[in-house]
Amino acid sequence: MESVGTEAANMGEREFKSCDRDDVSHLSLDIGGSLIKMVYFSSGSSSPSDDQKDSYLNDGTNTSIGTSNYNGLREKLHFLKFETSKIDECIKFISSKHLRYYGSLNPGGQDNKNLASEDNIIKATGGGAFKFADLFKEKLGIVLDKVDEMSCLVAGANFLLKAVNHEAFTYMDGRKDYVQINHKDLYPYLLVNVGSGVSMIKVDGDNEFERVSGTSVGGGTFWGLGRLLTKCQSFDELLELSRQGNNRVIDMLVGDIYGGTDYSKIGLTSTTIASSFGRAISANKELDDYRPEDVARSLLRMISNNIGQIAYLNALRFGLKRIIFGGFFIRGHAYTMDTISVAVDFWSKGEAKALFLRHEGFLGALGAFMNYEKNGFTDITHQFMEQSCEIAQDLVCKDEDL
Ligand SMILES: Nc1ncnc2c1ncn2[C@@H]1O[C@H](COP(=O)(O)OP(=O)(O)OP(=O)(O)O)[C@@H](O)[C@H]1O
Ligand SMILES: CC(C)(CO)[C@@H](O)C(=O)NCCC(=O)O
C-alpha cells in the first residue's frame, strides 16, 4: 500500500528527535481494551521531504491526512493507533510533540492555552480514560477530560455520515458500493461498534441514542483465541492467515450432516455452516493437524457471523433497516465484511443492510475530538475530512483487501 505522510505504531523502534516537535493541537484519545486511537491536528513549516524523514513505520492504519496551507503552515489531521498494552509508546509520542492547544474542563469558560503543565487537559474517551488517568498525569502532567464512550461513538459516526462524502459503503461478494445517505433520512440506525467487545447502539438523533445490546464475543475474542490457536504474532498476521484459509476443513456444513444435500425445507443449503468448528469433534485430529490458515478462517467466520446475527436481531427488535458497523475489528477486511453482510442479508431476507465506514476504528476518538467545539472547530474538521478523503481515499480504508 502507498504511504503518504504516515506515522506508525511501532514507536519502540525509533527515538524521537527534536525535529519531531511539530505544533500539535486538539489532540483526543480513545483508550480501549485493545487499542488506543488518537486524532490530532498538527501544523509546521515542514516540507514534504521533512515529512518523509518524520514518518514512522507504517502498519497501514496510522495515517496523516488532509494537508492544507494556512498562513504558510502545513496543517494536517492525523489518525494514529497504538496497542493499549504498549501505552508507554503513546505517552512517549505525546511527549515528543509540542501541544499548543489544550481543552478546558469548563466548556463555557476561557480556553486554557499554554497553561502550567499540571493544568493541561485533553479530551479522552474509552475505559482507559479512567484506568490510565493517573499515568497521564504522572508522566505528562496531562489531565484527561473524560467524555462518555457511547456518546463519542455516536457523535463520531453521525459526524462522518453527515460530513464526509463516500464514508459509508456496502460490501457484498467482493463489491464495494458507496452509499450517500440523505441527512434528513439518517435516523434511526443501529450502530454496531466491534472493538474488543461489541456495543449495539440505537441512534435516533444527534445526541439521542440508547445502547440496546452488546456481546463479549468480539474483536478481542478473535484476536485472543486466534493467537492461542495459531500462535501468530500480530493481528494483521491472523487476518492474513484467515484470508488464505478454508473454513470447510473445520466447520461442519449442512451437507456434512445431510449427505451432501441441501435442507431446503428450512432454507439451508448444503454449504451453510451447521456448526462452527464442528468437524474438529469427529476427526481424529489434534490442533497441530489443522493448518493455522483454516483455523483462522473458521474463527473469523464464526465471530463475524455471530455479530451479524445479533446485530440483525437487535435491528429487528426496533424495526431498524440500517445497521452500521464500526470498530477496529472490521479493518476494511473483505472476508469480515462479506461475512457480516451475508449474515445480515440472510437473516433479514434482504430487508436490512449492513453498512461499513471508512474511518471505522476512529469513531470514539473523533467523537471526543468533536468536543473541542470552539471557533467553529467542527467546520474546520469537516473541511479537513473532505479534503483528506479526496487526497487519501485509499489510505484510511485500506483498499488493498477490497
Ligand atoms: N493492530 C492491531 N492490534 C490489535 N488488535 C487489532 C489490531 N488491528 C485491529 N485489531 C482488532 O481491533 C479490536 C479492537 O478494536 P477497537 O480499537 O475498536 O476496540 P477497543 O476500543 O480496543 O475495545 P473496547 O471498545 O471494547 O474497549 C481488537 O480486539 C482486534 O480484534
Ligand atoms: C465494555 C465496552 C463498552 C468497552 O468498550 C465494550 O467492550 C463492550 O461493549 N463489551 C461488551 C459487553 C457486553 O455487553 O456484553
pLDDT mean over 357-382: 81
Band of the pLDDT at 102, cuts 50, 70, 90?
low
For CA atoms 297, 302, 305, 308, give the dihedral sign.
negative
Note whether residue 67 is domain-resident.
yes
Residues 6+ apart with CB under 8 A from 228: none
Residue 178 lies in a domain: no
CATH of the domain at 48: 3.30.420.40
CA distance 279 to 276: 8
In a domain, 97, yes or no: yes
Please state which of the ranges 15-19, 222-226, 235-239 shows the lowest mean pLDDT: 15-19
How far is 54 from 41, CA to CA, in rounded Å? 16
Distance in Å, CA 215 to ligand 2 centroid: 7
| Best residue among 87, 196, 240 to mutate for probing ligand 1, ranked by most atoms within 8 Å of CB | 196
Q: Which atom of ligand 2 is nearest to the CA of 213?
A: 14
Q: How much distance in Å is there from the Cα of 236 to the middle of ligand 1?
A: 11
In a domain, 368, yes or no: yes
Q: Residue 15 Cα, ligand 1 centroid: separation in angstroms? A: 26
Ligand number with the minimum distance to the CA of 198: 2
Half-sphere exposure of 53 toward its Cβ, with a 13 Å CA cutoff? Answer: 10
Beta bridge partners of 208: 205
Mean pLDDT of 364-376: 82
Task: Check if 196 has its Cβ closer than 6 Å to any atom of ligand 2.
Answer: yes
Closest atom of ligand 1 to CA, residue 197: 26
Residues 354 and 337: their CA atoms lie apart, in Å, by: 9
Rg of the chain over Cα atoms, rounded to whole angstroms, equals 22
pLDDT digits (tens, 9 = 90+) for 61-84: 455 544 444 455 567 889 999 999
CA–CA separation, 378 and 26 (whole Å): 11
Q: Could you identify the atom of ligand 1 that is nearest to the CA of residue 33?
A: 27
Higher pLDDT, 355 or 76: 355
Per-residue model confidence (pLDDT) at position 287: 96
How far away, in angstroms, is 196 Cα from ligand 1 center?
5
Structural domain contains residue 58? yes
* Burial of residue 36 (number of CB atoms within 10 Å: 0-12, 13-18, 19+): buried
pLDDT for 117: 43
Give yes or no for residue 215 CB within 6 A of ligand 2.
yes
Atom of ligand 2 at shortest range from CA of 32? 5
> Nearest CA to 29 among 103, 116, 115, 107?
103
Whether 118 is in a domain gets the answer yes
What's the mean per-residue pLDDT of the chain?
A: 82
CA distances from 283 to 274, 286, 301, 398 (A): 16, 9, 20, 38
* Beta bridge mates, 191: 201, 324
Output the ligand 1 site: residues, CB below 6 A.
32-35, 83, 126-127, 195-197, 219-220, 222-223, 235, 327-329, 331, 361
User: Does the pLDDT of residue 130 top 50, yes or no?
Assistant: yes
**pLDDT recorded at residue 177:** 97
Residue 77 falls within a domain, yes or no? Answer: yes
Per-residue pLDDT at 395 exceeds 90: no
Range of the domain at 135: 23-146+364-394
Of ligand 1's listed atoms, the one at least distance from the Cα of 198 is 26
Q: Which of 30, 191, 192, 198 to mutate to test ligand 2, by most ligand atoms within 8 A of the CB atom? A: 198
Buried b (16+ CB within 10 A) or exposed e, 278-313: bbbeeeeeeeeebbbbbbbbbbbbbbbbbbbebbbe
pLDDT at position 288 over 50: yes
Of 28, 30, 34, 89, the one to substitute when testing ligand 1's pocket (max ligand atoms within 8 A of C-beta) is 34
Contact 229, 287 (CB under 8 A): yes
Residue 214 near ligand 2, beta carbon < 6 Å: yes
In a domain, 280, yes or no: no
Amino acid making up residue 41: F
Q: How many domains does the chain have?
A: 1
212, three cell numbers: 440496546
